[in-house]
Chain A
Amino acid sequence: MENLVPLGTGNSRFMKSNIQASTTLAQLIQMLNNGTFPYDIGPLNPAGISQQGTPLNKATLLKDATAALFGFGVDALPDDMFNALAHTGDLHVWKRTQNGEVDYPVSPNPDAYQDGTSGNTTIEYLGQLGNKAQIATGSYVGTGTYGANNPNTLTFDFEPKIVILWYQISTWENSANVFLLRWNYTTQFAPGASTNSNASDYISYITYSGNTISWYNANHPLYQLNNVGNTYSYLAIG
């Protein structure tokens, strides 16, 4: 878009009015004072501008064809489009093949288009934009705390399906301990599990709340994956 740039010489636009030629100056002033002076804002005067600027109208703000891509009609407003874009995860997508040409209309309405072939047009539903896999990766540095009052927590922008935690085994450069946790299902894991009678000492207990996972071990930060200065990595898939 380009701005309109007037020269500032008082002649950037023309104006048209249908007042009668017999209108007196007093009548003109009274109409102006009363807000009843009629006129049309005329076109730009090239002699009074240095740059015409991009006009604001239907063609430049929201064409019918653009609105139709989102399932909107000819009366759609720019605000409707902004709202749709803000909720792209809610949009449904179709593949439309028409006379050999392909496009991908979207709509917040899941019934906006019907699957199938009609004449020379074939419609295929592809899915909802929000229903796509999301992945988050990251890490945290251990704080050295442990216990039910000092759980570890990880928060995500989405509710994962699984979370994978791992850390490098310091003595083996090419090895790592890996723990795969199924969201809202896995309730325990055991870093440093042993077959001896104190195996329960190694167990970390897991809870889930919204998009946050928490876990703690009652005996040692090592078993809570929370040793001071150690970096622990995660991968969440949802």
Chain B
Amino acid sequence: MLIIEITALDNGAHRNQEGGLRTVPEGWARIPDGMEIPDTFPFVDIEVNGQTVTSMTAGIVPEPEPEPEPEPSLDEQVAELQEALHMILEGTTE
């Protein structure tokens, strides 16, 4: 069973869960089998009757959060420290 939280989040998406549920949680609705799921899911506009979705249309997908800058790996950090140490030692030998 595919369920969707009735109230959308601030960005227009709906929390969702697909699995072997027997009970639809309060505040959620069941998407009937066979209902067409827009490609924008879970950014959708829905109409519900009780805890059953009766209509689902495509919503607007916002720009994704920029990927966080990858942290330097341990090897990269060691290489940076080695280079800094080398520069220091070179400086003291002048």
Q: A interface vs B, CB < 8 Å? A: 136-141, 143-146, 150, 152-157, 194-196, 198, 212, 219-222, 227-229, 234
Contact = CB atoms under 8 A, between A and B. Distances in A.
B15 A196 contact: no
Contact of B61 (A155, A194, A228): A228
Contacts of A222: 65, 67-68
Interface in B77-91: 77
A138 B15 contact: no
B9 A145 contact: yes
Interface string B1-43: 0000000011101111111111101001000000000000110
B94 interface: no
Contacts of B71: 194, 196, 198
Contact of B65 (A136, A154, A196, A221): A221
A143 B20 contact: no
Contacts of A227: 64
A146 B68 CA distance: 14
Given A195-B74, A196-B71, A228-B61, A155 B9 contact: no
Interface residues of B, number: 28
- Pairs A-B, 5 closest by C-beta atoms: A138-B19, A143-B13, A194-B71, A155-B25, A228-B64
Contacts of B72: 196
Contacts of A234: 19
A143 B18 contact: no
Contacts of B22: 157
13 contacts: A136-B21, A137-B19, A137-B20, A138-B18, A139-B17, A140-B17, A141-B42, A144-B62, A150-B10, A155-B28, A156-B19, A157-B23, A229-B61
Nearest to A135: B20
A91 B74 CA distance: 57
Contacts of B17: 138-140, 153-155
A145 B16 CA distance: 13
Contacts of A195: 74
Contacts of A140: 15-18
A198 B72 CA distance: 12
Given A138-B17, A222-B67, 11 more contacts: A137-B20, A138-B18, A138-B20, A139-B18, A140-B15, A140-B16, A140-B18, A141-B16, A145-B11, A157-B23, A234-B19
Interface string B51-72: 0000000000110110110011
A212 B21 CA distance: 12
A138 B1 CA distance: 9
A20 B92 CA distance: 136
Contacts of B19: 136-139, 156, 234
A145 B11 CA distance: 7
Contacts of B23: 157
A194 B22 CA distance: 39
Which of B11, B41, B77 has the most chain A CB within a 10 Å cutoff?
A: B11
